[in-house]
Structure 1
Amino acid sequence: MADFIPLSQLLAARTRDGDAVRFEVSEDWLQGRTSFGGLISTLAVQAMRDVAGAGWPADVQLRALQTSFIGPVAQGPVQVAVRVLREGRNVRQVQAHVQQGGETAALLLGVFGSERETTLPGLAPAMPAAGRGPDDTPALPFIPGIAPNFMQHLDMRWAEGGLPFTGTDTWHSRIHLRTKGEPQPLPLELLTVLLADAPPTPALSRFKRPVPASSVSWELELRPVAHELPADGWWRIDTEALAAAGGYVNQVSKLWSPSGDLAALGYQVVTVYA
């Protein structure tokens, strides 16, 4: 099995050349013939921060991220070219072009914004109860050759819904999750992006045999987390397939922080090859 390279180590080894940032993707972050989509988006956000965000005020946060997955990102070097599209008083829009071997692999648009003065009252939804807590749910062993490589970096425990390829009659899942093997806490912004793309589509639970699936597009809306978070705390992501036809699944997810804050909303189009 490939060496285990924590995300923090992968990020620390990045290099910058003008408006581009280069990363080296290791085999343990693959998902089939491509890299884990959450990793690709996380690298792109880091590149946006490196190139565009150096002089931004501290309160500028990633508010939205739109990702189109265009081609595979294999093991090896990958380049993220960054371009600032607009920099307003409160909102900054930044494009990231992910390339490997001269081919476009992904295009992303990040929307970064600082807080505004407002008379609008706050609205903070409460995290609904799950069927089981993380301590009541056994950890899934990582089995090389069966589970995607990147899964060795995550501890995921199903509270509701069926595991992939178990023939379960369901269109939703609630999953407790956290990272494994990180020597130091990841920045909250990057951790949110990474975890928000971690769960498989609930549609895979309906099959009784392994079938491939991949994300085509992903829109993520991030929310400010109000509470301090424990480094090893359990996050939870709730995913619901809203519609499915012609091999495509439209789904929505909600990522909750260990303190119960709504950290992100995700909307995704997933292809299922079966």
Structure 2
Amino acid sequence: MSSELSTITPLSALLAARSVTSHRVSFKVSEDWQQGRTAFGGLLSALSAQAMRDVCGADWPMRALQTNFVGPVGLGAFHVDVALLRQGKNVRQVKATVVQADAQGVEQVCGILLGVFGTGRPSQIPPRRPVQPPVALNAEAATSLPYIPGLTPNFTQHLDFRLAEGAFPFTGGNDWLTRYHLRLKDSEGVDPELIAIILTDAGPTPALSQAKTFAPASSVSWALELRPVTNVDLAGLWRLDQDTIAYDEGYANDRAQLWTPDGQLAAFGYQVVAVYA
């Protein structure tokens, strides 16, 4: 078996191939971006964010993105229907609905997203910018996570994953946290905001490290908050800090923080993950 799929489609190519018709933006997902029977959730959220920008404007940074994963998005074409809910002087709120036709040609809702865009403005309150905490292993010493067909999701071929703290999934460890150095391999020409969305969702729930055998997991809902960052080295390694705050009855409640290669806080999120173990 080949260690990689024969066709690898960079994120920039997926974005370049999209089509925009009024309030609908259409994309086509290739097999290398799959996560089990659905497309990788971080990719779907990033593409939906791009659709919001296409329809409602890309002049303001995204401040928050809430995603409900309703159903799987299979191979081939899917559409993002965008609606502007409200725009004020500083804040724009946008809804995106991901749909894909089933075998009978009937469009099914696969995801519902709410995006909040906000322009910056002067404030009498001084900035408060978090400092990135230290991690056990630097990028050079961290253990790389390889792509293993049939075990690791297809989309991980697009990522350079290096474990700095915690344990890999299915190793029967005692950790409820993971710390990764990571980057998108094919990031050239991609907006850092979209990269941040993808990378914040890239790591599996730390709860899976407690499992001793393979067990699938699926995101149910995801609340992401983004911070505008500057001068991002697209070829550099970001850092993803994840913690499982609570786990019971097959559901993990996770928190994540994403830092740019030079230590700026780029995003933090909260996620409910269903674990089938």
Is this a same-fold pair by TM over 0.5?
A: yes
Residue 120 in structure 1 maps to residue 125 in structure 2: yes
> 1:69 maps to which residue?
69
**One-letter code of the match for 2:119?**
S
What value does the CA root-mean-square deviation take over the aligned residues?
1.0
> 2:153 maps to which residue?
148
Residue 203 in structure 1 maps to residue 207 in structure 2: yes
The equivalences for 1:48-87 within 5 A come to: 48-53=52-57, 58=59, 60-87=60-87
The equivalences for 1:1-274 within 5 A come to: 1-53=5-57, 58=59, 60-101=60-101, 102-182=107-187, 184-225=188-229, 227-274=230-277
1:144 positional shift: 1.6
Identity %: 52
1:89 positional shift: 0.3
Runs of 4+ in 1 over 6 A off after TM superposition: none
Q: Could you tell me whether the CA contact under 8 Å between 2:12 and 2:186 is conserved in 1?
A: no
**One-letter code of the match for 2:10?**
P
> 2:104 maps to which residue?
none
SS of corresponding position for 2:164: strand
CA distance in 1, matches of 2:54, 2:135: 38
Gaps of 5+ in 2: 102-106
CA distance in 1, matches of 2:98, 2:227: 25
1:147 positional shift: 1.1
Q: Could you tell me whether the CA contact under 8 Å between 1:201 and 1:270 is conserved in 2?
A: yes
Q: Could you tell me whether the CA contact under 8 Å between 1:2 and 1:27 is conserved in 2?
A: no
1:2 positional shift: 4.4
SS of corresponding position for 2:82: strand
CA distance in 2, matches of 1:207, 1:154: 23
1:188 positional shift: 1.1
